Structures are given as structure tokens and as C-alpha cells.
Amino acid sequence: MKPLDGIRVLNLALNLPGPAAARRFHELGAEVIKVEPPTGDPMERYHNAWYRDMAAGHAVVRIDLKTEEGRACLHHLLAQADLLITATRPAAMARLGLDWPRLLARYPRLCQVAIVGYPAPRENEAGHDLTYQATLGLLAPPHMPRTLLADMAGAEQTVSSALTLLLARERGKGGGYAEVSLSEAAAAMAEPLRYRTTSPGAILGGGIPEYNIYQTSDGWVAVAALEPHFKERLEESLAARSREEYQAAFLGKSSAEWEQWAQAQDIPIVAVAAF
């Protein structure tokens, strides 16, 4: 038995983060039905392997929600669903007759998590992961982001919001609705920067030698000897105190050698992976 055995999830969201959230529900035991437009999910075209991974084990159906026949098919699926995940702007959902008040009136036990870009009253404003990160100071131009932080954080917030709604329903509160704002999800991930914990030169932004990155003879290592016992052990072993002394020491071996050494010393040091 898995925690969500017997729960049926209907996912209307394309790309990210809805499918990533739906994958988590499937992993927890839920049955997932993914609804795509006739043209399919764009993710299938530009990241086929990732699309297949996220949709693995899901039933995928293609429905044209702009037609009466398509909407009738969707309502048939909604009648059997416990949870609906959407990433369409609320105004567009309303035009399709799928706004939350009408859905709740028709399906009183249904729970919905609507993924939006910004919180109300900006819930119909366009945005993407790149723009959310840009407004939060998470970009370092001209470099693009190394990950889709807002989308992946939004996926996890979608899961936690949905589980909260389902739990409330099981406690007799009926169906429920929640919005997950990707801009707010990104803001939560940017909190260390907002408090200047990770700003350049700050305590976790390169300001102390024991929590830093260093060049080795063949690459780089990340050193995270933040706790006093790690720091003391590292300083005694390297006979180093300053960042310059640390750097001079780390240049003497390869990244793999330092990683092996750190495991034997029980110090958190790993080679920096390159993708």
C-alpha cells in the first residue's frame, strides 16, 4: 500500500511544473490521468526524454476543450477525480466554464490546485521561470539559470497544497481550492539571498574559507565545513586558516583525491560536477 492508493488525479497542466507534481502523486500511489490538447504537450517536442519520465505510468488522453464534445469528456473524467491540477490562467478557465465556483457546485468533493504566475490580483499576468528569477535577483547576466527553480519549487508547493486540501476533505470539509504562485515559490527559494546570507562576500556567499569552492589540480571542489568540528578538523589537517592558504593546499591534489580524503576524514567536501 502506498499513501495515495485510491486517489485519482486529473492533470490539465502542460510543460512544468504541473507534470512534475503529477509525477510525485503517481510515486505516492495515486492514479494520474493527463489531459493534453489535440496537438499534445509542447514538452514532448523539445524535451522528449523528460516528458516521458514525468508521464510514466500516467494515462494520457487528448481532448479539445474548445468543443462541447471535449468539455463533456472532461466532465466525465472530473466526476471520477479527487484532485484537479491546472496551469491555465483563471480567466481562460472561466471562459471554458471551468472556474472554481462552477466546478465546486458540480463536484463538491473535488479539490483543485491552480498553478498561476503571480498571486491575486495578478493571477492572469503572463510570466515564466526566467522572468520570476530575474525579478528576484537570481540571475547573473549574461548567464542563463542553471535550473528551473521557480517551476520545480512550484511543483513541490503544488503537492503540499493538494495534500492539505485532500486531508481537509477527509476531515469533512468538502472540496477545496488553492492557488500556487510560481513567483512566490521562487521568492521562497530566494529567501537566503533576500536576507543576504548568500550575497557575494556573505557568510554563505564566499565570505568564509571553510564554506567555499576551490580549484584543484584538475577541477574544483566544494568545501562545506561550516560546523566548528568540521572547520577545526579541516584547518588542522591542511594547516590553513585563510582562503589563500586553503587554495594553495587544494591545488596539490585532484578533485577525486580530495573527495576520497574528505570521506576518510568525515569532512563535507565533494568534487564540483560539470554538466
Cis ω on the peptide bond leading into residue 3 (within 30° of 0)?
A: no
Give the per-residue pLDDT at 275: 83
Q: For residue range 93-121, what is the model confidence (pLDDT) as tens digits? A: 999 999 999 999 999 999 999 999 999 99
Taking residues 51-75, report their average pLDDT: 97
Q: What is the DSSP letter of 229?
A: H
Class of domain 8-192: alpha beta
Q: Where are the domains of the chain?
A: 8-192, 211-271
The closest of 257, 258, 254 to 217, measured between CA atoms, is 254
Which residues make beta-bridge pairs with 215? 220
pLDDT at residue 264 above 90? yes
Residue 67 phi, psi dihedral angles, 5° rounding: -110, 155
Rg of the chain taking only CA atoms, in angstroms: 24
The per-residue pLDDT of the chain, averaged, comes to 97
Taking residues 239-266, report their average pLDDT: 97
Helical residues (DSSP H) of 177-226, grouped into ranges: 182-189, 191-194
244's grid cell: 589563500
96-120 in b/e form (b: 16+ CB < 10 A) is: eebbbeebbeebeebbbbbbbbbee
Q: For residue range 157-169, what is the model confidence (pLDDT) as tens digits? A: 999 999 999 999 9
Give the per-residue pLDDT at 215: 98
What kind and span of H or E run contains 114?
A: strand 111-116
Distance CA 251, CA 249 (A): 6
The one-letter amino acid at 60: V
pLDDT at residue 274 above 90? no
Taking residues 49-58, report their average pLDDT: 97
The one-letter amino acid at 24: R
The closest of 187, 18, 43 to 112, measured between CA atoms, is 18
Give rounded-to-5 percent helix, strand, coil for the chain. 45, 15, 40
SS3 269: strand
Q: For residue range 2-41, what is the model confidence (pLDDT) as tens digits? A: 999 999 999 999 999 999 999 999 999 999 999 999 999 9
Give the per-residue pLDDT at 218: 97
Kindly write down the DSSP assignment for every residue of 123-140, as one continuous string.
Answer: TTS---HHHHHHHTT--B
75's grid cell: 466532465
Cis ω on the peptide bond leading into residue 192 (within 30° of 0)?
A: no
Cis ω on the peptide bond leading into residue 121 (within 30° of 0)?
A: yes
